[in-house]
A and B are shown apart, each in its own frame.
Chain A
Amino acid sequence: DAGITQSPRHKVTETGTPVTLRCHQTENHRYMYWYRQDPGHGLRLIHYSYGVKDTDKGEVSDGYSVSRSKTEDFLLTLESATSSQTSVYFCAIQDTANYGYTFGSGTRLTVV
């Protein structure tokens, strides 16, 4: 959908291990975002990027880091996964044509 893919789609990992989720876009959009979605909390912004090497924190950034070394890839890293980070993670890009956001299909992460 609109050239945005997330990988992996599903992952199970152990507490304390580092995990990296990848968001890849093919349309050269400047803005990219990472959200998490949990029951009862809706979507919450973790980090976002407004260009290569330009990132900033969102509402729930503790325990997460991001990197954007090239326009097409935005990586989200859980430095030491905890059970509270079990969630569905969505990446999004902003369409500069209508300023609407396009979301990826999500990554379901389970930390055991």
Chain B
Amino acid sequence: LAKTTQPISMDSYEGQEVNITCSHNNIATNDYITWYQQFPSQGPRFIIQGYKTKVTNEVASLFIPADRKSSTLSLPRVSLSDTAVYYCLVGDLMDSSYKLIFGSGTRLLVRP
């Protein structure tokens, strides 16, 4: 499983765009990049997933450069409710033995 590295914590203010970068230098050809969000006392929630270039949904955007050794989760105009821990995971989703292995994540604090 490709190891990921994320900042431990980030601070932002309401209305700002937040970009959280994840490093995954040894990502494999078949690996996808997936991001989860976790609020206190809740299970992680799937946010977005991608393989290359850019993916956008109603919640976030995911930017993946051509070499795929990193990815950036972009949260537009954050609000206080975006305060959470964000996890970046990498793995071959099609592999029947694939299991989510979580790192420490990035703790995002959004201030008023």
Distance of A104 Cα from B43 Cα, bound (Å): 6
Interface segment among A12-20, A42-50, A68-76: the answer is A42-50
Q: Choose among A44, A58, A98, A103 the residue that contacts B43 (Cβ–Cβ < 8 A).
A: A103
Q: Is A50's CB under 8 angstroms from B46's CB? A: no
B32 & A43 in contact (Cβ 8 Å cutoff): no
Stretch at the interface among B13-21, B65-73, B93-101: B93-101
Asked if B42 is an interface residue, CB under 8 A from chain A, the answer is yes
Interface residue count on the B side (C-beta < 8 Å)? 21
Is B104 at the interface (CB under 8 A from chain A)?
Answer: yes
Q: B-side binding surface: helix, strand, loop or mixed? A: loop
Q: Is B61 an interface residue (CB 8 A)?
A: no
| Mask: chain B, 54-96; 1 = CB below 8 Å from A; 0 = not | 0000000000000000000000000000000001000001101
Task: Please give the distance in Å from A99's CB to the nearest CB on chain B.
Answer: 4
10 residue pairs of the A-B complex, CB under 8 angstroms, read A33-B99, A35-B102, A43-B44, A44-B102, A50-B96, A59-B101, A100-B49, A102-B46, A103-B42, A103-B45
Give residues in B with beta carbon < 8 Å to A. 32, 34, 36, 41-46, 49, 87, 93-94, 96, 99-105
Binding site for B on A (CB under 8 A): 33, 35, 42-45, 48, 50, 58-59, 88, 90, 92, 95, 98-106
